[in-house]
Amino acid sequence: MLAARWPPPGDDSFIPAENPYWDPEIETMPPEERAQLVLRKLKAQLAYCASNSDFYRGRWAAAGIDPGSISSLDDIRRVPILRKEELRTEQTEHPPFGRYLCIPRDKVLRIHGTSGTTGRPTAFGVSQGDWQRIATAHARIMWAAGIRPNDTIFIGSFFGLYWGGWGALIGAERLGATCFPFGAGVPGQTLQAVEWLAQMRPTAFYGTPSYALRIAEVARDAGYDPADFGIRVLFFSGEPGAGIPATKQLIESTFGGICIDMGSMAEMSPWMSNAECHERTGMHLWDDLVYTELLDPVTEEPVGPGEVGVLVYTHLERDSQPMIRLWSGDLSRYTDEPCPCGRTYRRLPDGLLGRADDMLVIRGENVYPAAIEEAIRAAGCSGEFRVTVVRQGALDEMKVRTEAVAGHSDNDLRNSVVSHLKKKLGLRVEVEIAPAGSLERTEFKSRRVSDERTMSQDVQSILDSR
């Protein structure tokens, strides 16, 4: 369905007949042909921003860019990169939505926002058309994950400003599935979740990986085996985990369903534009919805396959608050090797490696939080863990606290963590085994790695200044 209209109508009621693809033409087209489609949509999106936003008009004029002169995807590099701090400043100066809201204020259908734990929260104003387009995009992507209209989808995520749960909900509704918006965050709700899961037997689950593992623990304590819930597909966003092989395997063996990694950023909704298919070979970049560049964190030049770059996103069909070249800060690598699913999108085979500002430099080595989690999980740690990096004398030391696992002696577990980290990262660690269940759990996003050296701030300021 190569819609001639821009933005495409989001309210159609199309649902494919049983078929591996929602949109076989777009999903399997040769990449060069898709690039032409992306370019057409990009030009329409840029022209729309130039006519409807003083914010974009102003910044592009200041950079000497005429968006009408963009004639190839490479040309996008002439458009200035946008950073989250600039969005915050713009909203402070032009409250509440900033001048990148391209629709009249009274056409805002929904208000969402960031949690604002770091700095001023950002407000998202969403039009009805965008809400519908996001729903359709998510339905298409959830279809690729193997979700079908006869599925019942349990959404174990907050229903507030956070877009995660809402994005899953509207995608599920558009796909015609049965929605079960259970929520999260209310005291006692996790045990209730377990009881509802056992009773209602939903076939799909959405939340954060941390929360799925938390639910599994509470289920076991209450005498249930999470594999008996009958969940076929578990899909996740918001934090690393579902893209980390050992964590993916832990989730799959715990629940007996497939574990699907998804997620870009709330600003970029449809945030499922990074998402795995049911083959689970790494998140596809659904480039006809959001065009994604991978850029060197320092030079901001494009990186090739296999090289680490920052994901930089551009909306292609948003009319309310389009983001053009939003610097995510998330590091990843891409491949253009084919996926067995037959979709021709590039993929991120290692998921998101971590945020550029979370990357640790330990004794001269770049260490990604996702690699630390991979090693710790592969060592057999199925409970919570915490990692601290400290400087002792002139040396960086990594300290790991993890929890005892039934059936393993503390000593074996400690040795296993030491040897996995040594093998994966080449680092010596100090490991402490805490009692099972003693480290704090989250129903949202976990922060498991903390850097207590001052050097990380130096690295941060270098990255910030570029």
**Which residues contact ligand 8LE (rule: CB under 6 A)?**
163-164, 237-240, 242-243, 261-266, 271, 328, 330, 351-352, 355
Beta carbon nearer to ligand 8LE, 263 or 383: 263
Shortest Å distance, C-beta 369 to ligand 8LE:
9
Rounded to the nearest 10 degrees, the angle between the axes of helix 410-425 and helix 369-378 is 140
Beta carbon nearer to ligand 8LE, 164 or 226: 164
Dist. CA 170–CA 280, nearest whole Å: 23
User: Which residues make Cβ contacts (< 8 Å) with residue 429, sequence separation at least 6?
Assistant: 397, 398, 399, 400, 417, 418, 421, 422
Beta carbon nearer to ligand 8LE, 180 or 271: 271
Shortest Å distance, C-beta 446 to ligand 8LE:
11
Position of minimal CB gap to ligand 8LE: 263
Shortest Å distance, C-beta 342 to ligand 8LE:
23
Beta carbon nearer to ligand 8LE, 60 or 291: 291
Counting DSSP H helices and E strands in the chain, the numbers are 12, 20
Q: Which two tokens stand for residue 181?
A: 């918006």
Shortest Å distance, C-beta 258 to ligand 8LE:
15
Beta carbon nearer to ligand 8LE, 170 or 266: 266
Beta carbon nearer to ligand 8LE, 39 or 289: 289
CB atoms within 10 A of CB 81: 15
Shortest Å distance, C-beta 6 to ligand 8LE:
25
Shortest Å distance, C-beta 271 to ligand 8LE:
4
Q: Which two tokens stand for residue 406?
A: 């039934």
Dist. CA 54–CA 57, nearest whole Å: 5
DSSP string, 199-237: HH--SEEEE-HHHHHHHHHHHHHTT--GGGG---EEEE-
* Residue closest to 416 by CA, chosen among 210, 246, 215: 246
* One-letter amino acid of 430: E
Shortest Å distance, C-beta 412 to ligand 8LE:
30
Dist. CA 242–CA 164, nearest whole Å: 15
